[in-house]
Amino acid sequence: MNRRLDVLVCSGAACVSSHSAEVKSALACEIDARGLSDEIRLVETGCMGPCELGPVLLIYPGGTFYVRVSPNDVAEIVEEHFLKGRPVRRLLWETPEARRIAEEKKQVPFFEKQQKIVLANCGEIDPENIEEFIATGGYEALGRALTEKSPEELIETLVASGLRGRGGAGFPTGLKWRFVARESGKTKVVVCNADEGDPGAFMDRSLLEGDPHSVIEGMTIAAYAVGANHGYVYVRAEYPLAIRRLKTAIEQARNAGLLGLNILETGFAFDLEVRIGAGAFVCGEETALIASIEGERGMPRTRPPYPSTSGVFGHPTLINNAETWGNIRHIVLHGAQWFAAIGTPQSPGTKVFALSGKVVNTGLVEVPMGTTLREVIFDIGGGIPNGKAFKAVQTGGPSGGCIPAEYLDTPIDYESLKKLGAIMGSGGIIVMDEDNCMVNIAKYFLDFTCDESCGKCVPCRAGTRQMLDLLEKITDGKGETADIDRLRSLGMMVASTSLCGLGQSAPNPVLSTLKYFGHEYQAHIHEHRCEAKVCPSMIRFEINPAACRACDKCRTVCPVTAITGKPGTPPYQLDAQTCIRCGRCAEVCPFDAIAINSGDLN
Amino acid sequence: MKLEELRQIRERASKELSLRKGNARIKVVIGMGTSGIAAGARDVMAAFLDEISVRNLTDVVVTQTGERGLASSEPVVDVLITGEPKVSYGQMTADKARRVVVEHLVNGNAVTDFVIEVRG
C-alpha cells in the first residue's frame, strides 16, 4: 500500500536531550497498535532548528509542526491527526506576539526569513539513509565533477563563486583549493574541521547529525580537484551522535562505491577517516588541529608554512570547516553565478547561525549574508523574552565582540562585523538583555579563553590571566580608574603578539565592551554600581517597609537567616551584613516588597 | 556503482520522498471523522492508496479531514485538482474509490454518479 503520511521526528542532539527518542518509540507503538504501520512512516531527522521548542515533529503532507511533544501526547496525535485528520491545536507552534496558530511550517515566522542551502536537508531527510540523501540530488554533484569536469574547472568554479571559509576567518575557499592543487607532492590530504568549540555554537554538529553525506560529498569533490586520496574529519568527542551518524554515512558511501578505490567506477580513489578530538578549544585552529590529527599535543605552529604547503604529516593539506564543505555540492550543481547572486558581493551565500541567549526562538538559522542583526534577532529569533530591553549581541563566540543596539541594522558579513570590533566567527550569536552586566560578560568570555589558552605564547597565557584578574577586581568593587587603560593596553598587546587566532581574538570581548559599554565599567569602578544588578559585590537586597505584609515567606527561604520578623507584624528586617545575595527572598515575595539596589548609598 | 545507477536510485528514492514536497497536483481529502470512519472511510482510503500506488501516480497526495456535517453522505471524499473546482463525492466505497482514481484522477472526468457537490 502507498504511504500517506511521513512523520519526521527531530533527532538532533537538543531534541534527543528533551527525550525525542521516547516520543518516537511511543509513536511507533501507537501507530503499530492501530494497524497504521503501512500507511505512516516514521523518520528520524537531523536538527530542524527551533531547539528551544523540542521535541518537535513535522508531518507531511501539509507540513504540520508540533512542538514540545511528550510521550503522553502521542495517543491523541495518532487518534486525532493521523486517523481523523484534525491537527492537535494545543501542540501547534504559537508565536508569542501574535498568539496565532501557525498550522503550516512555512507560516512559522522562524522559517519565513530563512534561506536554507547548507541545512536544506537537515530536518527533512533521514540522515542514516543514504537513499534519502540521493533522492534530494545527493552525489549528483560528485558524479558530474568526476565525469564532466576537470579539476581546474572545479577550482575556477569555486573561485568564481566567491565562497569564503565558514569557520570564521573568511578566507576565499577557491584560492585555498588552488594553492593545494598547485603543490607538487604525491600525497595530499583533505581535512574537515568540525571541532566546534565556541560555547553556544552548534552549526557543525547539526550539519553532521542532520546531513553527514553533504560533508562527505563536498570533501570528495575537493579531493578530486586538488589531487588528494585521503581525508580526515576532525570532530570533538562531545558530539557522540554526530560521530555515530558520520561513521554510518561513511560506511554507506563506501558500500555504495561513493568512497573508496574506484568512486562511481571512474577510477578515482578517496577515503575518509574520523578523528575524535578531546575538546580543546585551540584545536579549532587549523595548525593545532593538524598537530592533534598527527597524535601530537594540540598546539598551533608558526605559519608559514601554511597547511596548503605542509600540513598533516608534512603533506599539502586542504582544510575547511564543515559548513564550508556543505556548500560545495550546491555550487557544483547550480554553478558559481547562482551562488554569487545570493548574499552580498563581498560575502556571497548564506551563513548558518546558532542563536542563543536572551531570545525567544533559540536554535539554528540559515540566512543570506547581508541579513541584518535585527532581522535575525527580532524577526527570526522573535525578540527578547519577558518584555525586557535588548542590550547587546555577541557574535563569533568567545573571540567575538559585543555589538550594542545602535548597530542592530548592521548587515551580517565578514567586513561589517570586523569593522565593529566583532567577528563572524563560526556563527554563534548570543543575545543579551538589560539583565546582563557587560563587565561580567567580558569576564565570562575571558575566563573561557584564559582557561583554553594552550600556553605556547606568553602574551596569551599570562596576558589573558592578567586581564581576567583586572576584571575580577572591577566586579569585586575594587577597581581603579587606571584599570581601564591597563585592560586596554594589555588587550592590544595580547592581540598583536599572539601566534594564533585564539590569542589574537581573545581580548575582543573586553575591547568591544570597553568601546561600547565603557560607562558600565565606569559605574562599577566609581559608583560601585552594577546597572544590570548582576555582580554580587555591588547589589543589596532591601525590604520596602510599606509593601511588606509580613507573610513570612522570605524568612523561611533565606539560607543564612538574614531576615527577621514576626508573621503578621510588618515590616520584616534584612541584615545586609549577613545576606549572601542569593536572591531567593525576592523570588518568593508575593508583594514585590524586596528590591534589589546597586550603587553607593548617598 | 556508476553515475547512471546513482541516478536510478535517485529516481526510485525521490518517489519515497514525494510526500514531503508540496507540489502534488491532485489532493484527495477523505472525511475521517467518527461517522466517516463508522461508514467505512478507512476502507475507502485504503482503496485510494492502493489504486494510486498500482497506477504509479506520483503527483497525488491522500490526506484526511474531520467531520463535514453531512453524516448521511459519509464517507465523503473531496478531490482537488489544481486549477479545477473542488469535487465532493458521497457514500463512497472501496470500489467507487477505485473508479474515481481511474476516471477522475487519471482521465480527468468526475464520476457524476457519486458527486454530491461541486464548488469553486
> Mind listing the pLDDT tens digit for each residue in A317-351?
999 999 999 999 999 999 999 999 999 999 999 99
pLDDT, average across residues B72-94: 89
Contact between residue A535 and residue A558 where contact means Cβ atoms under 8 Å apart: no
- pLDDT at residue B23, as a whole number: 67
- Asked if B49 and A143 come within 8 Å (Cβ–Cβ), the reply is no
To the nearest 10°, report the CA torsion of A354, A115, B26, B65: 30
pLDDT, average across residues A536-552: 92
A375 Cβ contact list (under 8 Å, min separation 6): A113, A367
Q: Of the candidates A50, A72, A57, A79, which has an alpha carbon nearest to the alpha carbon of residue A6?
A: A57
Domain range enclosing B98: 22-119
Distance (Å) from the alpha carbon of B68 to chain A's nearest alpha carbon: 12
- Asked if B64 and A85 come within 8 Å (Cβ–Cβ), the reply is yes
Q: How many domains does the structure of chain B reveal?
A: 1
Residue B72 confidence class, pLDDT cut points 50, 70, 90:
confident
User: What DSSP assignment string belongs to A72-133?
Assistant: GGHHHIIIIIIIT----GGGB-B-TTT--B--BGGGSHHHHT---STTTTTTTS-TT-HHHH
**CATH number for the segment(s) A538-598:** 3.30.70.20
Q: Is B93 on the interface with A (CB under 8 A)?
A: no
Chain A, nearest residue to B67 by Cα: A84
Task: Give the least confident one: A106-110, A136-140, B92-96.
Answer: A106-110
Compare A427 and B119 and report the one with higher pLDDT.
A427
To the nearest 10°, report the CA torsion of A141, A147, A149, A154: 40
Compare A452 and A422 and report the one with higher pLDDT.
A452
Residue A94 confidence class, pLDDT cut points 50, 70, 90:
low
Q: Which residues of A fall within a CB distance of 8 Å from B6?
A: 134, 139-140, 143, 258, 264
- Asked if A4 and B62 come within 8 Å (Cβ–Cβ), the reply is yes
Taking CA A536 as the corner, what is the angle to CA A532 and CA A541, rounded to the nearest 5 degrees?
Answer: 80
- Asked if A1 and B49 come within 8 Å (Cβ–Cβ), the reply is yes
Asked, for residue B53, whether it belongs to a domain, the answer is yes
What's the rounded Cα separation, in Å, for the pair A326 and A206? 12
Determine the residue among A42, A81, A84 to mutate to test chain B binding: the one whose Cβ has the most chain B Cβ atoms within 10 Å.
Answer: A84
Task: Give me the amino acid identity at A412.
Answer: I
Of A39, A63, A264, the CB nearest to B6: A264
Question: Bridge partners of A343?
Answer: A348
Taking 70 as the threshold, does the pLDDT of residue A127 lie above it?
A: yes
Question: What is the separation, in whole angstroms, between the first and last Cα of chain B?
Answer: 50
pLDDT, average across residues A37-66: 86
Residue B35 confidence class, pLDDT cut points 50, 70, 90:
confident
Residue B67 confidence class, pLDDT cut points 50, 70, 90:
low
- Asked if B16 and A131 come within 8 Å (Cβ–Cβ), the reply is yes
Q: Is B44 on the interface with A (CB under 8 A)?
A: no
Taking 60 as the threshold, does the pLDDT of residue A398 lie above it?
A: yes
- pLDDT at residue A100, as a whole number: 42
- pLDDT at residue A109, as a whole number: 67
Chain A, nearest residue to B62 by Cα: A4
Q: Is B6 on the interface with A (CB under 8 A)?
A: yes
Distance (Å) from the alpha carbon of A193 to chain B's nearest alpha carbon: 28
Q: Which residues of B fall within a CB distance of 8 Å from A84?
A: 32-34, 37, 64, 66
**Side-chain-facing half-sphere of A49: CA atoms under 13 Å:** 28
Helices A151-161 and A212-226 pack at an angle, to 10 degrees, of 120
Q: Where are the domains of chain A?
A: 5-109, 130-340, 350-433, 438-527, 538-598
* pTM: predicted TM-score of the whole model, two decimal places: 0.84
Question: Bridge partners of A36?
Answer: none
ipTM: 0.77
pLDDT, average across residues A391-398: 90
Q: Is A36 on the interface with B (CB under 8 A)?
A: no
Average pLDDT of chain A to the nearest whole number: 91
What's the rounded Cα separation, in Å, for the pair A431 and A408? 11
To the nearest 10°, report the CA torsion of A473, A477, A483, A487: 50
Taking 60 as the threshold, does the pLDDT of residue A602 lie above it?
A: no
Compare A51 and A95 and report the one with higher pLDDT.
A51
- R_g of chain B, CA atoms, integer Å: 16
Chain A, nearest residue to B37 by Cα: A84
Distance (Å) from the alpha carbon of A371 to chain B's nearest alpha carbon: 27
Chain B, nearest residue to A6 by Cα: B19
Taking 80 as the threshold, does the pLDDT of residue B22 lie above it?
A: no
Asked, for residue B65, whether it belongs to a domain, the answer is yes
pLDDT, average across residues A124-135: 91
- Asked if A83 and B9 come within 8 Å (Cβ–Cβ), the reply is no
Contact between residue A380 and residue A393 where contact means Cβ atoms under 8 Å apart: no
Q: Is A107 on the interface with B (CB under 8 A)?
A: no
Q: Is A261 on the interface with B (CB under 8 A)?
A: no
Whole-Å CA distances, A123 to A9, A65, A281, A567, B23: 8, 12, 28, 56, 19
- pLDDT at residue A96, as a whole number: 46
pLDDT, average across residues A353-367: 89
Task: Give me the amino acid identity at A381.
Answer: G
pLDDT, average across residues A297-324: 95
Contact between residue A221 and residue A328 where contact means Cβ atoms under 8 Å apart: yes
Residue A362 confidence class, pLDDT cut points 50, 70, 90:
confident
| CATH number of the domain bearing residue B48 | 3.40.30.10
What is the enclosing helix (H) or strand (E) of A401?
strand A401-404
- pLDDT at residue A16, as a whole number: 87
Contact between residue A280 and residue A301 where contact means Cβ atoms under 8 Å apart: no
What's the rounded Cα separation, in Å, for the pair A58 and A312? 42
Q: Which residues of A fall within a CB distance of 8 Å from B12?
A: 131
Of B16, B32, B52, the CB nearest to A85: B32
Q: Is A279 on the interface with B (CB under 8 A)?
A: no
Q: Of the candidates B109, B79, B77, B110, which has an alpha carbon nearest to the alpha carbon of residue B94?
A: B77
- Asked if B6 and A83 come within 8 Å (Cβ–Cβ), the reply is no
**Side-chain-facing half-sphere of A542: CA atoms under 13 Å:** 11
Which of A275-279, A337-341, A425-429, B81-85: highest mean pLDDT? Answer: A337-341
Place of cell 463512497: B92
B95 Cβ contact list (under 8 Å, min separation 6): B47
Q: Of the candidates A516, A519, A461, which has an alpha carbon nearest to the alpha carbon of residue A493?
A: A461
- pLDDT at residue A241, as a whole number: 87
What's the rounded Cα separation, in Å, for the pair A426 and A400? 10
- Strand pairing class (A401-404; A390-395): antiparallel
Class of domain A350-433: alpha beta
- Asked if A135 and B17 come within 8 Å (Cβ–Cβ), the reply is yes
Taking 90 as the threshold, does the pLDDT of residue A445 lie above it?
A: yes
pLDDT, average across residues A21-48: 90
Contact between residue A427 and residue A351 where contact means Cβ atoms under 8 Å apart: yes
Taking CA B24 as the corner, what is the angle to CA B21 and CA B28, rounded to the nearest 5 degrees?
Answer: 120
Task: Give the least confident one: A137-151, A485-499, B57-71.
Answer: B57-71
- Asked if A60 and B2 come within 8 Å (Cβ–Cβ), the reply is no
Q: Which residues of B fall within a CB distance of 8 Å from A3?
A: 16, 19, 49
Place of cell 510588618: A570
Average pLDDT of chain B to the nearest whole number: 86
Q: What's the CATH number of domain A130-340, 3.40.50.2000, 3.40.630.30, 3.40.50.11540, 1.25.40.10?
A: 3.40.50.11540
- pLDDT at residue A98, as a whole number: 35
Residue A97 confidence class, pLDDT cut points 50, 70, 90:
very low
Q: Is A492 on the interface with B (CB under 8 A)?
A: no
Give me the CATH topology for the region A5-109. Answer: Glutaredoxin (3.40.30)
Q: Which residues of A fall within a CB distance of 8 Å from B16?
A: 3, 131-132, 135
Asked, for residue B45, whether it belongs to a domain, the answer is yes
Q: Is A139 on the interface with B (CB under 8 A)?
A: yes
Of A60, A125, A256, the CB nearest to B1: A256
Taking CA A171 as the corner, what is the angle to CA A510 and CA A399, rounded to the nearest 5 degrees?
Answer: 15
Residue A601 confidence class, pLDDT cut points 50, 70, 90:
low
Distance (Å) from the alpha carbon of A18 to chain B's nearest alpha carbon: 25
Q: Is A89 on the interface with B (CB under 8 A)?
A: no
Of A84, A135, A265, the CB nearest to B16: A135
What is the enclosing helix (H) or strand (E) of A471?
helix A458-475
Q: Is A60 on the interface with B (CB under 8 A)?
A: yes
pLDDT, average across residues A557-567: 94
Q: Which residues of A fall within a CB distance of 8 Å from B33?
A: 84
- pLDDT at residue A15, as a whole number: 86
Q: Which residues of B fall within a CB distance of 8 Å from A1?
A: 46, 49-50, 53
Asked, for residue B46, whether it belongs to a domain, the answer is yes
Taking 60 as the threshold, does the pLDDT of residue A174 lie above it?
A: yes
Instruction: Please write the tens of the pLDDT for every residue from A12-21.
Output: 888 888 899 9
Class of domain A438-527: mainly alpha
Asked, for residue B2, whether it belongs to a domain, the answer is no
- Asked if B32 and A83 come within 8 Å (Cβ–Cβ), the reply is yes
pLDDT, average across residues A50-58: 86
